[in-house]
Structures are given as C-alpha cells and as structure tokens.
C-alpha cells in the first residue's frame, strides 16, 4: 500500500510539472532556434561582470550572482537550456572579448549607439533612473541636475551608457572614468570627485549593505538605465531565443526578483537562496497543485480501500449465506431425527404393551 502511494505521488507530480514544461519548451522555440540550441548542446555561454551589483557580481566563492544571473536562470528554465558562466571580468574586458567572438551573452548591458555597432539586445528587464550622488556634507545636496556640475568632476563607470549620455549632453562636466560604481562612491567619500552618477538599483545595493553611509542622492541625471542582455550581431537566433524566454517570465516573478535585489534605503534586505526565491514566486500555484494532487491521491486511496472493504464484506456475506444454508440443512436434519425419535418411541410403547399382555 505504501509503495503504491509513493508511485502515485511521483507519477502525479511528474505529470503536473514535467510534461507541461516539456510541451511549453517544444512550442516556444522555432525549429531553427531549437536546432541552434541543439548544436550547442543546449548550453549558452554567459559573460558576467565582476562588480556591477545588484545586476552581476562575483561572490566570495568567485561565482557570479545578481539580478541578471537570476533572470538568465529563469530564461534557461523556460527554453530548456543551461547557462554556462565564464569567469567574471570588468565591463571593458567583457566588451573587448565579445567583439573578438568570445562568449555568447553579456549578462548586464544597457544599449547605446556605440554598442549597437557590434551587439543586438533583448528587451530590458528593468528600468532604473540614474541619479547624482554627493557627500552628505556637500554645500548643496538636493534638487541638483548635471548642469550644476559644469566644470566639476563627476565619476562615471567607464563604458557605460550613462557615460556616453553625459559626454554628449553635458560636455562641460568633467567625467572621471572609474571601473565600477563602488569606486565612484569611494571617490565621493574621499573627496576626490564632486559627485558620482549611477543608477538607483546599484546605489540601493551599496546602501542596504551599509558599505557607504556618508553619501546622499542630490538629484536626477535625466537618464534611465534599461539593462538587457546583449549578444553578438552574428547570433540573431540567440537574441530571439533569449527574447522568447524573457517574455515567459511572469510579472510576479519579476516583482520577486526586484524585491530580492533592489532594496531602497531604510528597508531590510532579506538573505535568501535562489531556490527559495523560485519556490516563493510560485507558492500560490504550487500550493494549488499540491492540494489538488493530495486530493486526487486521497480519492485513489479511498477508492482502493473501499474496494478492499467491499470485497471483505461480500466475502463475509457469502460466508454468512453458507452458514445460513448449513444451518437450514441442520434444522431439516434435526426435524427428521425428531420424527424418527417419535416413531421409535411409539414402537417402544407398542412393544411394551404387548409384553405386558403376555405376562398376564
């Protein structure tokens, strides 16, 4: 009985989860896209950035993690593929390597005119405004825009779309190129630059980690980061594959990922594994499936048990019928014996009467 229950549970869960996913993956991609993936052993090579939190950065074990990585893992699940991550590197190194044909996907990139020369992009998975960050003891620390920094030094990540935006639209701002946003924040704290420009998502990450507490947002740059995935222009099929996978990610899952990685100042960041995040994001649906599955299995067990009880009941009823029949037969035989005994008693009385008459 226990083995039967385990088999029923396993079969039901497989039918609920595995079969629909396989069918979805089969229908999602075109034959050409499926063939492209198959030719790559269903593996897509990703170039993650080493220090661009919360999108892509290297953890203490040297492995990539971040919002972009989580999105890529969900895409891989939707399209039935595997993501393989190269060693995290700086943004400039990644862009140089991708132009040389290394790797398939840049995990974190915002489209601009320069990159459009050698990359094609998926739709963006987030919109995050770029802000101006200054020290808390700055003479003026609110209501500023980039025009207020004409002739002043502003740290901006080298090779970013924001750098190009500032150079084109605010040529009088002295751009200090840095390798990543964290260094830009450090330069502000040390007084090496007047401000740094970065997106709100990145700033929230550092503030929530309490890496830097002596900076504040002074204004808006007028530019929005719209991070997406970039692939070489020679791989339009891959761009289409990623786009289709991205389109399958629900708004609920997107909200969960944003809440996980983007924490505004004053909020507490909850540390949780990727697995728990997938479970939370699908908790409602999973609960329905589980309850439905338990219900089906309970019904099956009930029917099986009821059948067993019915068989036992009918066996007992059959035995009772047999006993009744035997009892009826015994009653019949008892009646016959009673009549015979009565006849024997009558003969005895007749015989006794004859003996008495002879003695007289």
**Structure tokens, 326:** 């035997």
The tens digit of pLDDT for each residue in 181-219 reads 999 999 999 999 999 999 999 998 988 776 567 899 999
Alpha helices in 199-282 (DSSP H): 200-208, 236-247, 251-261, 274-281
Q: For 52-68, what is the mean pLDDT?
A: 94
Cα–Cα distance for residue pair 156/162, rounded to 1 Å: 7
Is the pLDDT at 273 greater than 70? The verdict is no
Q: pLDDT-derived band of residue 318, with 50, 70 and 90 as boundaries?
A: low
Residue 128's pLDDT is what? 94
End-to-end CA distance of the chain: 86
In the block, tokens 């002074």 appear at 218
Sequential DSSP letters for 272-334: --HHHHHHHHTHHHHHHHHHHHHHHHHHHHHHHHHHHHHHHHHHHHHHHHHHHHHHHHHHHHH
Q: What is the pTM of this model?
A: 0.66
Size (the chain), residues: 360
Q: Are 194 and 141 in contact (CB under 8 A)?
A: no
Q: How far is CA 29 from CA 68, 126, 195, 263, in A?
A: 22, 24, 46, 35
């Amino acid at each position: 009985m226990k083995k039967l229950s385990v088999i029923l549970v396993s079969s039901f869960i497989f039918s609920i989860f595995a079969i629909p996913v396989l069918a979805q993956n089969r229908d999602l991609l075109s034959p050409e896209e499926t063939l492209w993936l198959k030719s790559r052993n269903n593996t897509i090579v990703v170039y993650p950035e080493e220090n661009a939190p919360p999108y892509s950065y290297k953890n203490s074990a040297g492995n990539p993690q971040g919002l972009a990585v989580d999105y890529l893992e969900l895409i891989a699940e939707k399209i039935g593929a595997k993501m393989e991550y190269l060693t995290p590197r700086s943004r400039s190194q990644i862009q140089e390597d991708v132009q040389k044909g290394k790797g398939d996907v840049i995990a974190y990139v915002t489209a601009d005119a320069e990159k459009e020369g050698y990359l094609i992009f998926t739709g963006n998975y987030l919109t995050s405004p770029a802000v101006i960050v200054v020290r808390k003891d700055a003479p003026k620390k609110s209501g500023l825009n980039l025009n207020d920094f004409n002739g002043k030094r502003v740290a901006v990540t080298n090779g970013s779309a924001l750098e190009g935006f500032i150079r084109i639209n605010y040529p009088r701002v002295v751009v200090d190129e840095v390798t990543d946003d964290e260094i830009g924040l450090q330069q502000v704290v040390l007084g090496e630059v007047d401000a740094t420009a970065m997106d709100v998502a990145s700033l929230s990450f550092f503030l929530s980690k309490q890496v830097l507490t002596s900076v504040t947002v002074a204004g808006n740059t007028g530019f929005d980061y719209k991070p997406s995935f970039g692939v070489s222009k020679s791989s339009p099929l891959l761009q289409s594959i990623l786009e289709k996978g991205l389109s399958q990610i629900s708004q609920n899952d997107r909200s969960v990922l944003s809440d996980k990685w983007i924490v505004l100042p004053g909020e507490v960041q909850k540390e949780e594994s990727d697995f728990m995040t997938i479970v939370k994001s699908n908790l409602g649906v999973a609960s329905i499936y589980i309850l439905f599955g338990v219900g089906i299995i309970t019904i099956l067990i009930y029917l099986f048990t009821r059948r067993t009880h019915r068989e036992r009941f009918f066996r007992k009823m059959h035995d009772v019928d047999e006993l009744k029949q035997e009892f009826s037969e015994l009653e019949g035989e008892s009646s016959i014996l009673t009549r015979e005994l009565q006849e024997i008693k009558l003969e005895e009385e007749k015989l006794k009467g004859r003996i008495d008459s002879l003695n007289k």
